Structure 1
Amino acid sequence: MDTDAVENLFFAALKEKTVENNTQAVDLFNKILTIDPSNDASLYELANIKKKQNKYTEAQPLLERAVTVKPDNEWYWAALADVYEKSNDLPKLENVFNQLIRLNPDRVDYYYDKANAFTLLSKYDEALKVYDQIEQITGINDDLILSRQKIFLKQGKVDKAAAGLEQMITANPTQIKYYRLLAEIYNSNNAADKAFKVLDKAKSVDPNDPLIHLALADIYREKKNNDASFKELQAAFALPDLSIDQKVRIVVGYFPKFAEPAARAGALASALQLCEIIISIHPTESKAYALYGDVLVQSEKYNEAKAAYEKSIALNGQIYETREQLVRIELSNNDMDGVIRDGELALSFFPNQGWMNYYVGAAWLQKKDYKKALSYLKNTTALEFQNKDLLSLSYSQLGDCYHAMQDIKNSDNAYDRALSYNPDNKYTLNNYAYYLSLRGEQLDKSAQMAKHANELEANNAAFEDTYAWILFKQKKYKEAKEWMEKALAHSKNKSATQTEHYGDILFYLAEPDAALQNWKKAKEYGGNSPALDRKINEKKYIE
């Protein structure tokens, strides 16, 4: 064998491996093995390359040959253990860990790995024997107790699993973590009474441990003692050691109950009380006020929620969701100035938020500043590609903007786009249908849209009025009368427009006196259409 050639090839292979030219490195290591099949270093290096490529079945025989050549090399055995684990060849692990322990008897990790392998093979007694060996080396410790516990619990030996912890509690009576672990064992194995006794004792040892209070709250809840459970929950929330994030998660757990009629009132009351505790303990945490705002919204206490969101934003203005919640409340309160002020401020931090652009655009539309409304609404349609509801709403608002600006072509196009994203957008259906009818255009399409709007929402006086008016324009006077009477019956206010339209319909049904009477009522209700006075004076319908 040419020793110099092998050495040169080996260093060349290592160089290629270092620069991650694995293909060339593999070729060189294979050449070495052709010359010297028992070259253990090349077997090991080649196996490592295979492992990185997740080719464990190819790495395994290489390492098995390497440990045969050099049975006292710890690295080879460790690499072989990794391959067996990755390829799930668990029965072979026992011998590997025996060899590793032989080579390094003071390394505790090898014992734990061996015990774990036995556990995976369901050889629980063998695993426990290994843990006994570990105890001889390290003495008793938390890791050892927990490891044994897992075995005992798999064997159904709850008493033995508990015994180790009871031993630790006796030796360390002020260490609350042992009480928690013992209670968890009892509670997980249908021994809630034993768990309660352990936790109650722990509470007397350290009343300021929030996790003990939470565990007691769980047990009381299981026992249907909701008052005691909530008191423990309050005690836990009053302790600063319980993180605000955990407190938030617990309160959020109440949210599904808000949708249950039987549980809603109690869940809201409890959530509000917990939020108030959170704020008192964490007064500088913005998320405390944001959560409080969310619960207040669920309680329909919108003004208080608005104040909570404003406080949250003052503490941390970098949370978009809180800003959106604030603007939503202002929009629902018809506070368009607030929407514009807080919405535009939010967009200075988060300019690419589609909903916020929509809210601000809708507010400017309400303020009749159509150019500004168009700007924000166009931003929304440029930013949003997937949310069809938002796109439908935005194009509908654009249609209203263009209509107000008397840009009929763009208005119709926007309404068509709105309906393409949501054919059931009832307000778009109604408005678009009405505007087409006023122009006397596409009356069949207009009637179809108005009819569909009424199908989507029955007893809406405005929708019924629109449909009646379109039927009138189609000279379907009897049907128009039926729908207008529905509109008048469902109208919450005395509508001058609806009453005037009713008079128009009656005129064409040959009821001129009734028509005149309704035109006069429309005048009393504040009607001021250009033709109304002429209708009254001339006692006939005027376009």
Structure 2
Amino acid sequence: MNTQAISDKEHKIRSRIISTLLVIGYCCLIMPIYAQSPKPVKTQARVDSDAVENLFFSALREKTVENNTQAADLFSKILTIDPANDASLYELANIKKQQNKFAEAQPLLEKAVAIKPDNEWYWSSLAEVYEKNNDIGKLENVFGQLIRLNPTRADYYFDKANAYFLGNKFDEALKVYDQLEQITGPSDDLILNRQKIYLKQGKVDKAAAGLEQMIVASPGQVKYYLLLAEIYVSNNAGDKAFKVLEKAKTVDPNNALVHLALADIYRERKDIDASFKELQSAFTNPDLSIDQKVRIVMGYFPKFNEPNVRSGALSSALELSRIIINIHPNEAKAYALYGDVLVQDEKYNEAKTAYERSIALNGQIYETREQLVRIELSNNDMDGVIRDGEVALSFFPNQGWMNYYVGTAWLQKKDYKKALSYLKNTTSLEFQDKELLSLSYSQLGDCYHAMQNNKSSDESYDKSLSYNPDNRYTLNNYAYYLSIRGEQLDKAAQMAKHANELEANNASFEDTYAWILFKQKNYKEAKAWMERALTDGKNKSAVQAEHYGDILFYLGDTDAAVQNWKKAKGYGANSPALDRKINEKKYSE
């Protein structure tokens, strides 16, 4: 219930003390009998008493070594002999509670308090059970009993009032707070709890009045101004909140929380410049935690996708991120955040520097290392990907994406064995991320193709498409390699066509489809697609020029064919087959 309630550790210690005292009590009851008669007659009652005593000691021993199952059995046996043994009821109930069997604990504790109504710990344990069982209505009586037993303990009053509050008995809760105030005097907790009730009742003025009194009594305490402003803001009284915060600002001009609250009000008023100035003032205060500052900046990220506000949001986020770095220069998360914002602003080189600084301060944050490697991959810095990626994997070996990045880099460097190693790691580590699995199997297909292992290559491409049938790069590469081998041309044509449907105006995809059509001897349509590729291609492609020449030759335009073969050679193509085409003026495999 209340934060002032008995802790679990304290509860366990007290329960053991009670258990020990109860055992001592049993011994005291037995001792006079020995004193009166050295050779007592063992009546049935005496046998039962001995049995209970022995069982209780045994149960406590089992409980001490945390053998709760055996302890519970022994306490249960005691209760078959002595159903009114309140200590065993209590101990057994506590074991049930540890096992989260609160419904079974409840009748045990209810019986215990009926037998010993003045035992405070029994009632306290029962309160916990009622709370866990959501039997809120019974809590009122429990805390009433606890107050009866310990009338100066403040947390019992708070708990009783809270039970009334949960039951929507607001006036009764307020009366309990009045009783407590007679004992402890006014306090922040009382004010806040009364406010909660007043606001629930819609009595905003009463809720505010208590805080206004506290401000009069302690005008230098800014927290009261902030609480009062929060009440006004929550009840659409922004103007009143603004006046309160302006007063707070005169009391403590550097208070970061006041500046943040004012920033919120200005933002509601659409005064973006004033709001940002208040944020700047708050961020320059080192007492405001970096985590809170980071959360505020992260709040800008959704706005980066809104064209109308993207520029302003980025500018604000960058400025606030720089302030965080200046105020918290030794915090890794400050540089990581700055890097994230720079990435959103497409300033990748600056972001890379920020991430490197963050990693130097704290290398145990995987996300920062991944961001660094992503930038290196996008910059085609394969050496950087391998260097930083392998370091990252030395700390985080089970990260699928990082294995994929490093494998991709080795593939680009044509070290296919190393590429296979990392890409296979990815597929063995990841089971849920279909995007990553599709990409990894696609890269495995490329590796196996380069190693002339066509069977494994085809299997990998098929696996890639099983995870993502729309992986356009898999569709294109798989189709192209099948066409080169002259195998499954219908399947290749279907995949190539689908790749072009997924991404129009891609010269490489168009060239693949044209070449498959050529292999199928559909020269007219092949010519149309190849001309698309030549139009959409940004670079002079030797492969496309040579393919175009091949198509033109079979369409009967030998001169144009030779001209394009020569272009291909001029663009850098160099093969015996191409030389034969030019020299013999005819197509050659």
Q: Tell me which moved more, 515-524 or 21-30.
A: 515-524
Match of 2:558 among 512, 515, 519: 512
Q: CA separation in 1, counterparts of 2:571 and 2:131?
A: 86
Give the structure 2 partner of residue 447 of structure 1.
493
Q: CA separation in 2, counterparts of 1:313 and 1:444?
A: 51
Contact 1:13 1:26 in 2 (8 A): no
Q: Structure 2 vs 1, CA of residues 108 and 494 (structure 1 numbering), >3 Å: closer, same or farther?
A: closer
Give the structure 2 partner of residue 437 of structure 1.
483
Equivalences for 1:10-49 in 2 at 5 Å? 10-18=52-60, 19=62, 20=68, 21=70, 22-33=72-83, 40-41=86-87, 44-45=90-91, 48=94
Deviation at 1:62, TM superposition (A): 5.5
Equivalences for 1:283-302 in 2 at 5 Å? 283-302=329-348
Deviation at 1:300, TM superposition (A): 0.3
SS at match of 1:261: coil
Q: CA separation in 2, counterparts of 1:454 and 1:92?
A: 69
Match of 2:221 among 175, 178, 181: 175
Match of 2:194 among 140, 148, 157: 148
Deviation at 1:348, TM superposition (A): 2.3
Contact 1:16 1:25 in 2 (8 A): no
Deviation at 1:442, TM superposition (A): 2.1
SS at match of 1:284: coil
Q: Structure 2 vs 1, CA of residues 342 and 79 (structure 1 numbering), >3 Å: closer, same or farther?
A: closer
Opposite residue 28 of structure 1, the aligned amino acid is: I
Q: Structure 2 vs 1, CA of residues 362 and 103 (structure 1 numbering), >3 Å: closer, same or farther?
A: closer
Give the structure 1 partner of residue 250 of structure 2.
204
Q: Structure 2 vs 1, CA of residues 307 and 175 (structure 1 numbering), >3 Å: closer, same or farther?
A: same
Deviation at 1:286, TM superposition (A): 0.8
Matched, 1:336 2:378: no
Opposite residue 446 of structure 2, the aligned amino acid is: D
Q: CA separation in 2, counterparts of 1:203 and 1:474?
A: 80
Structure 1 gaps of 5+ residues are none
Cα displacement string for residues 176-196 of structure 1 (whole angstroms, at most 9, x for unaligned residues): 111111111111111111111
SS at match of 1:156: coil
Cα displacement string for residues 100-123 of structure 1 (whole angstroms, at most 9, x for unaligned residues): 333322222232233223223322
Give the structure 1 partner of residue 538 of structure 2.
492
After superposing on structure 2, the runs of 4+ consecutive aligned residues of structure 1 that deviate more than 6 Å are: none
TM-score (norm 2): 0.85
Deviation at 1:378, TM superposition (A): 2.6
Deviation at 1:384, TM superposition (A): 2.5
Contact 1:32 1:42 in 2 (8 A): no
Deviation at 1:288, TM superposition (A): 0.5
Deviation at 1:328, TM superposition (A): 0.9
Matched, 1:395 2:441: yes
Q: CA separation in 2, counterparts of 1:17 and 1:448?
A: 75
Q: CA separation in 1, counterparts of 2:99 and 2:413?
A: 65
Give the structure 1 partner of residue 146 of structure 2.
100
Q: Structure 2 vs 1, CA of residues 53 and 513 (structure 1 numbering), >3 Å: closer, same or farther?
A: closer
Opposite residue 26 of structure 1, the aligned amino acid is: S
Percentage identity across aligned positions?
77
Give the structure 1 partner of residue 312 of structure 2.
266
Give the structure 2 partner of residue 459 of structure 1.
505
Equivalences for 1:472-487 in 2 at 5 Å? 472-487=518-533
Contact 2:445 2:460 in 1 (8 A): yes
Contact 2:75 2:91 in 1 (8 A): no
Opposite residue 175 of structure 1, the aligned amino acid is: Q
Opposite residue 529 of structure 1, the aligned amino acid is: S
Structure 2 gaps of 5+ residues are 1-42, 63-67
Matched, 1:279 2:321: no
Q: Tell me which moved more, 248-257 or 109-118.
A: 109-118
Cα displacement string for residues 21-68 of structure 1 (whole angstroms, at most 9, x for unaligned residues): 2133213213213xxx5x555555565556556666666565555555
TM-score (norm 1): 0.92
Q: Tell me which moved more, 382-391 or 279-288.
A: 382-391
Cα displacement string for residues 465-501 of structure 1 (whole angstroms, at most 9, x for unaligned residues): 1111111111111111121121122111232322222
Q: CA separation in 1, counterparts of 2:47 and 2:438?
A: 76
Deviation at 1:418, TM superposition (A): 2.4
Q: Structure 2 vs 1, CA of residues 111 and 439 (structure 1 numbering), >3 Å: closer, same or farther?
A: closer
Match of 1:223 among 269, 275, 290: 269
Match of 2:283 among 219, 233, 237: 237
Opposite residue 15 of structure 1, the aligned amino acid is: F
Cα displacement string for residues 274-307 of structure 1 (whole angstroms, at most 9, x for unaligned residues): 0000000000111101110010000000111111
Q: CA separation in 1, counterparts of 2:104 and 2:418?
A: 68
Q: CA separation in 1, counterparts of 2:101 and 2:332?
A: 51
Cα displacement string for residues 148-206 of structure 1 (whole angstroms, at most 9, x for unaligned residues): 11122122211111111111111111111111111111111111111111111111111
Q: Tell me which moved more, 523-532 or 256-265.
A: 523-532
Equivalences for 1:371-382 in 2 at 5 Å? 371-382=417-428
Q: Structure 2 vs 1, CA of residues 41 and 484 (structure 1 numbering), >3 Å: closer, same or farther?
A: closer
Q: Tell me which moved more, 8-17 or 21-30.
A: 8-17
Contact 1:296 1:305 in 2 (8 A): yes
Contact 1:380 1:394 in 2 (8 A): yes
Pairwise CA RMSD of aligned residues? 2.4
Give the structure 1 partner of residue 204 of structure 2.
158
Deviation at 1:408, TM superposition (A): 3.0
Q: Structure 2 vs 1, CA of residues 278 and 48 (structure 1 numbering), >3 Å: closer, same or farther?
A: closer
Q: Structure 2 vs 1, CA of residues 6 and 152 (structure 1 numbering), >3 Å: closer, same or farther?
A: farther
SS at match of 2:576: coil
